[in-house]
Structure 1
Amino acid sequence: MPERRYVITFGCPDRTGIIARVASFLADAGGWIVEAAYHTDPDTNWFFTRQEVRADSLPFDADELRARFAEVAASLSAESNWQVEDTGVRRRAVILVSREGHCLYDLLGRVASGELDVDVRAVIGNHENLADITRAHGIPFHHVRFTEDKGAAFDQVRKLVAVHQPHAIVLARFMQILPPELCTEWAGRAINIHHSFLPSFVGARPYHQAHHRGVKLIGATCHYVTADLDAGPIIEQDVIRVDHGDSVHDLVRKGRDIEKIILARGLRWHLENRVLVHGNRTVVF
């Protein structure tokens, strides 16, 4: 059983004494820091940090830690930009899918093997292709038909998701553009895998675009969803080499391998509170 920890993350305007302030606060309470990361962005003069503290080293629980840390956050002008998370509370996720199942298969396999510690509460699909594999893993599958009235369909999806209050809503090749109101409601929780190395080849059929352009590298991008199509803060990216002999089918096949890895990696970092968003950029500790 992994050691229970409290994870503190925040960003604030940079200045001297920030690290000392946080360390003193934790030390005074008996907190045992087991992991600490820091970064300062010189372009914005913004400071970022992530601290892991052994839960058993503190004489109070996570709620009390939040209440006490609020004063520290306020003194550092990080009033609305900080979190304290308890690793003893298992993270919840809902996965949205369409017809293609490679990302879903991969995530469910990682969860089943214990490699990815997340409670997948439900899978929602706009087709029924992936219902059987989902239910084989003991997870409820909900089919929502997307016809001409997409507003009604998205309203149904929103209600199905809201029941579970997930820490992550994973668009595992969902192939539907979220309406702006859902992007706002799910801000910082909706994670998409785009089958392209953004910002190149946005939108539909990126592998066809890449093949037409004659690229030598293709990739995938895991990012947070915003109302700007395929332009949200990037969590993780990777590439694979291709050459002139590869067909569009070859690019799609190779790209699927990258998509699975990047989505799993980005989701893990999100669930572990390793991703700090500032504007349209991220710091990943």
Structure 2
Amino acid sequence: MQYVITAVGPDHRGLADPIVHCVTQLGGNIAEIQMYDHDEASVFSMLTRVELDPAHDATLRQSVAEISERTGLSIRTWVPREPGRRPRLAICCTLRTETPRAVLTAIADGTINADAAAIISNRQVCRGLADEFNVPWHYIGDADGSVDDDRLIDICDELGVDYIILARYMRILPPSSCWKYAGGRIINLHHGLLPSFPGMRPYHDAHAARMLTYGATCHFIVPELDAGNQIVNQTTFTVAPGTPRDEIIRRGEQQNEPACLVEGVRRVVDGEVALHFNRVVALK
């Protein structure tokens, strides 16, 4: 069985060794390992992907808990494909309802073979979706939309979330959050074609460049790297010359973006693609 172990915490010597030794002593095979030291912040981050006999599951988790207690590291052990268990999704959103609604609808009709564990938002706009789809609502913002990033991670931990879906969630996750759920567990919808049109206003930028093709990008979030290189799905639509920008944005937000995110999430949940050494690989 494959396990993904992530560790984040105060930086000092000897943090990686006990995790590596724990895995190898149990006969596990290390398929991927990444480490990063945030020197200025004195923060250590690590991801280890291992193959291990599931008979050692309890021992692994107990050992990891002891390492966490001894080192002060925040450690998570995740099984990407756990037999007999449907993946659990946390759907994060801000102001747009179209993309989270599309994901919730796809879960309800079986297109996405997963369960919606929570809707998490820094605004109250999408709260009605929680009532409509009978999904727990978690508000983590304040009056100006600032976010309690630690609370977001706490909610996902408490609910046993497998994947965090950023469905037009208009806040940037800090590196520590990205590392805690590293390994292809955070899926983002960007409302433009990457890498050509990054930033907050891709429709405006593409329109200013006199583009006739617009699109959206579903990609894995990867800490410490430029977002968008780990593309899972892209969808496009073409307009006629002279089409007003507002009409282009309307078509993108209401039709193209939701379809792009649903297909991207489906590919990940169905195990068609995964992240390995920060690259998307096809598994089927």
d(CA) in 1 for partners of 2:196 and 2:96? 22
Contact in 2 for aligned 1:192/1:222 (Cα 8 Å): yes
Root mean square deviation of aligned Cα = 2.6
Aligned position for 1:39: none
- CA offsets 1:87-120 (integer angstroms, 9 cap, x no match): 5211111010001010111111122222222111
How far off its partner does 1:86 sit? 4.1
Cα gap change, 1:223/1:142 in structure 2, threshold over 3 Å: closer, same or farther? same
Which of the residues 242, 246, 260 maps onto 1:245? Answer: 242
- CA offsets 1:178-203 (integer angstroms, 9 cap, x no match): 10111111111000000111001101
Which of the residues 164, 169, 177 maps onto 2:164? Answer: 169
Aligned position for 1:109: 105
Which of the residues 86, 90, 96 maps onto 1:94? Answer: 90
Give the greater-gyration-radius structure (CA).
1
Where do 1:153-192 residues align within 5 Å? 153-187=148-182, 188-192=184-188
How far off its partner does 1:128 sit? 0.7
d(CA) in 2 for partners of 1:248 and 1:259? 16
**One-letter amino acid of the counterpart of residue 171, structure 1:** L
Where do 1:22-61 residues align within 5 Å? none
Which of the residues 127, 131, 138 maps onto 2:127? Answer: 131
Deviates more, 1:173-182 or 1:251-260: 251-260
Cα gap change, 1:266/1:243 in structure 2, threshold over 3 Å: closer, same or farther? same
- CA offsets 1:234-253 (integer angstroms, 9 cap, x no match): 11112111232212212212
Cα gap change, 1:131/1:89 in structure 2, threshold over 3 Å: closer, same or farther? same
Contact in 2 for aligned 1:194/1:230 (Cα 8 Å): no
Where do 1:245-284 residues align within 5 Å? 245-256=242-253, 257-284=255-282
d(CA) in 2 for partners of 1:126 and 1:102? 16
**One-letter amino acid of the counterpart of residue 237, structure 2:** I
SS of equivalent residue, structure 1 residue 175? coil
Which of the residues 41, 54, 65 maps onto 1:63? Answer: 54
- CA offsets 1:7-46 (integer angstroms, 9 cap, x no match): 989xxxxxxxxxxxxxxxxxxxxxxxxxxxxxxxxxxxxx
- Mark the runs of 5 or more structure 2 residues left unpaired by the alignment: 4-52, 58-78
- Mark the runs of 5 or more structure 1 residues left unpaired by the alignment: 1-6, 10-61, 67-82
d(CA) in 2 for partners of 1:213 and 1:146? 36
Aligned position for 1:219: 215
d(CA) in 2 for partners of 1:99 and 1:222? 18
How far off its partner does 1:149 sit? 9.7
Cα gap change, 1:98/1:87 in structure 2, threshold over 3 Å: closer, same or farther? same
Contact in 2 for aligned 1:203/1:229 (Cα 8 Å): no
Cα gap change, 1:182/1:132 in structure 2, threshold over 3 Å: closer, same or farther? same
Deviates more, 1:273-282 or 1:119-128: 273-282
d(CA) in 2 for partners of 1:146 and 1:185? 23
Deviates more, 1:271-280 or 1:246-255: 271-280
d(CA) in 2 for partners of 1:126 and 1:149? 5
d(CA) in 1 for partners of 2:99 and 2:247? 17
Contact in 2 for aligned 1:97/1:171 (Cα 8 Å): yes
How far off its partner does 1:146 sit? 4.5
TM-score (norm 1): 0.67
Aligned position for 1:234: 231
d(CA) in 1 for partners of 2:171 and 2:131? 23
Aligned position for 1:120: 116
Say how many residue pairs are matched: 211
